[in-house]
Amino acid sequence: MSTVTTLLEGRTAVVTGAAQGIGLEIARVLGVHGAKVVLADLRDDAVLEAAAGLRGQGIQSIGVQCDVTDEDEVRNVVDHAVTEFGGLDVWVNNAGITRDASLKKMSLADFRLVTDVHLTGTWLGVRAASARMRENGGGAIVNISSMSGKAGNPGQTNYSAAKAGIVGMTKAAAKELAHHGVRVNAVQPGLIETAMTRAMPAESFAAMEASIPMRRAGQPVDVANVVLFLSSGLAGYMTGAVLEVAGGRLM
């Protein structure tokens, strides 16, 4: 484990969609830098196991089952952070899904499902977290958008719309919350190697990877390090920003 533990020492962080992939890596990196972390995920067993794994690495963490589209379950995560770890300083809206299909083939149900998880889920997280943070004089919220929300991907009209929507929501919330000491920023990852992108056809993955100026797909830690920066005092004068973590793709 890194010896650097001061960036988030004494803070409590919540990461949604943290049972695996980018979310789990964000939780680990925030934990390595001193945060107590609450992992929230739809999948109960997986999130408890993920939190136990982090405890095994010396990070104070708990897992909580939560569907980010459910208002009460999102509030329950805030309550857990406060009762178990004494506060709420950082909230990362990371939970996400894809249901890719061309316009010809995409069902209305899959359009609604994807926009619901990303947009409603992020909105519920921003609302619940900021309510608690403003009472306590401040905090940092980081929303995970995507380069698909900047450039648009064929086969992802649902996902691209949702990820672009997260950018607008981030800026609106940042303006509302700035004078309460709550900063709201977003990250737009490019192609990152996780279960989500391993589900892509191999030739699509390779074609996308070939278009990256840095000539490689990103790793979850590449995203997690930028979330750490935005969560910490190093970014204390940043709000409403959207940072691309994409190896130069679509710059």
The residues binding ligand NAI (CB under 6 A) are 16-17, 19-23, 41-43, 66-69, 94-97, 117, 121, 144, 146, 189, 191-192, 194-197
Residue type, 108: L
CB of 120 to ligand NAI, least distance (A): 9
* Encoded tokens for 225: 């390090």
If residue 204 lies in a helix (H) or strand (E), which one and from where to where? helix 202-210
Residue type, 217: A
CB of 92 to ligand NAI, least distance (A): 10
Q: How far apart are CA 161 and CA 116, in angstroms?
A: 11
CB of 237 to ligand NAI, least distance (A): 26
116 vs 176, which CB is nearer to ligand NAI? 116
Catalytic residues: 159
Q: How far apart are CA 62 and CA 52, in angstroms?
A: 7
Residues in contact with 179: Cβ distance below 8 Å, sequence separation at least 6, in sequence order: none
60 vs 204, which CB is nearer to ligand NAI? 204
8 vs 50, which CB is nearer to ligand NAI? 50
The torsion of the CA quartet 125, 128, 129, 135, rounded to 10 degrees, works out to 170
Residues in contact with 112: Cβ distance below 8 Å, sequence separation at least 6, in sequence order: none
Find the angle CA(240)-CA(112)-CA(157) to the nearest 5 degrees. 70
Which 3 state secondary structure label does DSSP give 248?
A: coil
CB of 93 to ligand NAI, least distance (A): 8
34 vs 162, which CB is nearer to ligand NAI? 162
196 vs 238, which CB is nearer to ligand NAI? 196
CB of 236 to ligand NAI, least distance (A): 25
Residue with tokens 């390090």: 225
Handedness of CA 181, 228, 236, 187 (dihedral sign): negative
